[in-house]
Structure 1
């Protein structure tokens, strides 16, 4: 991997996300007033799969404005959120104060790859990575090594993500438009973020595609034991016109009779031994 190009791309993304933060904080999509009033942003399948977190030390990598992080705090965890956007971390800290969770939550501004140094050898019972995070990381092998190093012995990674097959489908959701195995960085120039709100000033960003096998293999190579891998036939938004809203579950699915593909996945991987240095 070209480290200098990776650093340039990550800085481009950081500036892009700094611009997204005030838009997201004011958006109906993120609904910070509703969260302050007691809402949770965790999805039911995440709560079920992670289980009871009471008293556990949980680290949320790429936490953005901290709503998922603080939702775990509301379920009893002692949480740390880390994000490369200083503006997002400032918003998360303010949200922790506003919700009375400041004593059980802290937020750190840092790149994921610098997490071990910034957290100075701390270890966690759970490392959580939320939906839509991995496409912003150029090196999944290095990410897995960072995660393994942050886990206490017996600790677990929990990852919930959009399925990489989604990225291969055309806008209609019916045809394959991209090579699943193409891992070259993709540069985009969009005037808006994915929420409601005004246009961005920093409109360019870079994403990386990570096939599912690459993610699982990286975790195994880092010394983690995969406990489960669940592929889900639903997603959280109207990704394609063909999807139908399941109001009861609050998700979107392919209609009955339509050939489906997995739209999301979740996995848990446990640190059962000291990772082997590479």
Structure 2
């Protein structure tokens, strides 16, 4: 395993995510009923990049509490979700059982899981990661190499992520962070209750009040990775980038005060501000 991995930070983030996950899911009502009724939490951008899913062996890396994983499984993928948070994986397993949507969920640090899975000979047609995943990675090259090792020949990796240009600003659109930090940024307040802040944007089904005035007792650590750094890591791991896109809107998440809501749980920059890239997407293939 890479010597540059900061597993101490991964562990700190696990604790912060455990606390935050309880708050996040408290706002989402009866999610099992939502899935039993045919609900999906996916957006068009990731579905377009993923392509046909029926019968595909798919791993959802850093899957959080499993809602997107189950949505992918409902579309026919043989889905495995992986996340470092104990609370997230416990919830995902319960949600799968209660909704009747089959998927496998495994709790692990993504780096350890990639290494163990590759060494064990398991291979996937598709690997997928999305929305607030890259900032928790402490070694992009090791991550990309790990993904390449668990893909079957011709398999693809798809990423839909919030744009690092947008992550430079705080909620009041004041410049606060570097575009690319390479070094961890300590967040004293830890993972926040961004689900409550985005309201219906991040809740595809029933919305409930849930946790009030959540304060995370555990700090967290993030790294700002630029889009070129992500792309180059994938290229360096032997993946061929087929698609690279940017979007001037945000799916589900309202990052700044005064964001303009649009249909489909989409947000654009506030009135009076120029467009800023708020998301990007990558599709990369392992040549067989």
CA distance in 1, matches of 2:19, 2:170: 28
Aligned to 2:246, what secondary structure does the other structure show?
Answer: strand
Contact 1:29 1:195 in 2 (8 A): no
Contact 1:36 1:95 in 2 (8 A): no
Tell me, yes or no, if structure 1 residue 204 matches structure 2 residue 214. no
Deviation at 1:88, TM superposition (A): 1.5
Q: Which residue of 1 aligns with 2:177?
A: 178
Task: Give the corresponding residue for 1:116.
Answer: 114
Structure 1: how far apart are the matches of 2:180 and 2:131? 21
Is residue 24–residue 30 contact of structure 1 (8 Å, CA) maintained in 2? no
Distance in 2, Cα, partners of 1:66 & 1:124: 18
Q: Which of structure 1's runs of 4+ aligned residues deviate more than 6 A?
A: none
Counterpart position of 2:70: 70
Please state whether the residue corresponding to 1:153 is helix, strand or coil.
strand
Aligned-partner Cα distance in 2 for 1:118–1:182: 29
- 2:225 aligned with 1:226, yes or no? no
Query: In structure 1, which of residues 233, 245, 249 is the aligned counterpart of residue 261 of structure 2?
Result: 245
Q: Does the 8 A contact of 2:189 with 2:216 survive in 1?
A: no
CA 1:107/1:5 → structure 2, altered by over 3 Å: closer, same or farther? Answer: closer
In structure 1, distance between residues paired with 2:283 and 2:221? 27
Of stretches 183-192 and 39-48 in structure 1, the one that deviates more from structure 2 is 183-192
Question: Looking at both structures, which has the greater relative contact order when contacts are Cα pairs under 8 Å and sequence separation is at least 6?
Answer: 2
Preserved CA contact (<8 Å) 1:41 1:71: yes
What are the superposed Cα offsets for residues 158-182 of structure 1, whole Å, 9 maximum, x if unpaired? 0000000011124333x54333233
Alpha-carbon spacing, 1:107–1:228, altered in 2? closer, same or farther (3 Å): same
SS at 2:6's partner residue? helix
What is the Cα deviation at residue 20 of structure 1?
A: 2.1
Distance verdict in 2 for CA 1:23–1:37, change over 3 Å? farther
After the TM superposition, which of the residue ranges 175-184 and 199-208 deviates more from structure 2? Answer: 175-184
Give 3-state SS (helix, strand or coil) of 2:147's partner. helix
- Find out whether 1:272 has 2:283 as its counterpart: no
TM-score when normalising by structure 2: 0.85
Partner-residue secondary structure (3-state), 2:194: coil
Structure 2: unaligned runs, 5 residues or longer: 197-210
CA–CA separation in structure 2 for the residues paired with 1:20 and 1:176? 25
Q: 1:142 deviation in Å? A: 0.8
- Within the alignment, does 1:13 sit opposite 2:13 as a pair? yes
Between 205-214 and 193-202, the greater mean CA deviation after superposition: 193-202
Partner of 1:276: none
The alignment of Structure 1 onto Structure 2 pairs a total of residues equal to: 268
Is the Cα contact below 8 Å between 1:168 and 1:178 reproduced in 2?
yes
Give the unaligned 5+ runs of structure 1.
Answer: 274-278
Residue 49 (structure 1) shift? 2.3
TM value normalised by structure 1: 0.88
Task: Output the aligned Cα RMSD.
Answer: 2.3
